[in-house]
Amino acid sequence: MRHMMSPLDFSVDELESMMDLAVQIENDPEKYAHVCDGKKIATLFYEPSTRTRLSFETAMLNLGGSVIGFSSASSSSATKGESVADTIRVVGTFADIAAIRHPKEGAPLVASQVSPIPVINAGDGGHQHPTQTLTDLFTIRSLRGKIHDLTIGLCGDLKFGRTVHSLITALIRYPNIRFVLISPEELRLPSYIREDVLDRNHIAYKEVTRLEDAIPELDILYMTRVQKERFFNEEDYVRMKDFYILDKEKMDLAKEDMYVLHPLPRVNEIAVEVDSDPRAAYFRQVRYGMYIREALIMTLLEVSVC
Ligand code: NCD
């Protein structure tokens, strides 16, 4: 039985097959509408979410399955002191697969170690968010036709942004990817990613503070929100929150074929005026996320069309 804790749990070839399957689902959803008939996904969300939880639930419904779960820790037995390990043992009796989001780094991993059913990490603290990464990889492949020979700008809260940490870890396995890390000094990429992932693997990257300086050379601009909930004090958050605002003026400096991605939710970091730019791909990205989650569920449950 396989789980998905990190994008590295699957080889580049396996991810490629998963993306191929997502394309087939996108092109012919009817064909896949009953592959998970009778199966259930449990979404165990101890932290807020709109997209990720609804995306998993819609993905399962699209495949003919059904959904159980909770959307906040306060409505679960966590408030009574139940451990994640016990919860997954219980939920494994009811469901065939589970997606877990938790504020504590490593909580989904602990669950997977005792789980009778496949577990998907739907975001653990500031650590990893592998299904957002699948979404991001699939979006890049769908829009650019490739995941190699690209200059990728990551902008915003690179310190606490788990989507950034997961994406970098996944992208270094593809040929000739260059990173431009755009952040204020206080929100730089943590050293466990900069040194242990980028430096150790001799990946080309540079760190800059100004978005205007970086934007002309980018093929993809990955914007992120300042992660309010991971700050220790409100003052620091307020000082950082509007550090970057991507607007029309900055978009004018970008390549004609540079796409803007964002895991969402957006706060102020992308002006609404950018939404109508054909290069703004963040709402399309949500759709890709649903198809790739369908492909992931099928893969972990080992189901296929007859
Ligand atoms: C991201 C997350 O939860 O890490 N959102 C998401 O899953 N689409 C990004 C964020 O919250 O900023």
- The CATH number given to whatever domain includes residue 269 is 3.40.50.1370
Average pLDDT, the chain: 96
d(CA 134, CA 264): 15
Q: How far is the CA of 280 from the centre of ligand 1 (A)?
A: 18
- The whole-model pTM stands at 0.96
Mutate to test the pocket of ligand 1, among 131, 132, 159 (most ligand atoms within 8 A of CB): 132
* Closest C-alpha to ligand 1, atom 7: 52
* Closest C-alpha to ligand 1, atom 12: 225
The ligand 1 atom nearest the CA atom of 129: 4
Q: How far is the CA of 265 from the centre of ligand 1 (A)?
A: 7
Closest CA to 52 of 278, 233, 293: 293
pLDDT for position 89: 97
d(CA 253, CA 216): 5
Percent of the chain with pLDDT over 70: 100
Range of the domain at 214: 130-285
Query: Is 64 exposed, middle or buried, given 0-12, 13-18 or 19+ CB atoms closer than 10 A?
Result: middle
Same domain membership, residue 239 and residue 224: yes
Identify which has the larger pLDDT, 242 or 135: 135
pLDDT for position 129: 96
Same domain membership, residue 238 and residue 117: no
Residues with CB under 6 A from ligand 1: 51-52, 123, 129, 132, 162-163, 225, 263-264
Mutate to test the pocket of ligand 1, among 52, 154, 225 (most ligand atoms within 8 A of CB): 52
Catalogue the active-site residues.
51-52, 80, 101, 129
* Mean pLDDT of the region 282-304: 97
Are 117 and 95 spatial neighbours (Cβ–Cβ below 8 Å)? yes
pLDDT for position 81: 83
Same domain membership, residue 156 and residue 137: yes
Q: Which of 11-25, 66-80, 111-125 is least confident? A: 66-80
Q: Which residues contact 152 (CB under 8 A, 6 or more apart)?
A: 171, 177, 178, 179, 180, 218, 219, 220, 222
How many other C-beta atoms lie within 10 A of the C-beta of residue 12? 13
Query: Is 197 exposed, middle or buried, given 0-12, 13-18 or 19+ CB atoms closer than 10 A?
Result: middle
- Residue 25, domain member (yes or no): yes
Same domain membership, residue 242 and residue 165: yes
The ligand 1 atom nearest the CA atom of 224: 12
Same domain membership, residue 39 and residue 123: yes
Structural domains in the chain (count): 2
Same domain membership, residue 141 and residue 118: no
Same domain membership, residue 139 and residue 233: yes
Please give the helix or strand (H or E) that residue 110 lies within, else none.
Answer: helix 107-114
CA-based torsion, 85, 87, 89, 91: positive or negative: negative
Mutate to test the pocket of ligand 1, among 138, 264, 292 (most ligand atoms within 8 A of CB): 264
d(CA 243, CA 90): 44
Identify which has the larger pLDDT, 229 or 122: 122
pLDDT for position 135: 98
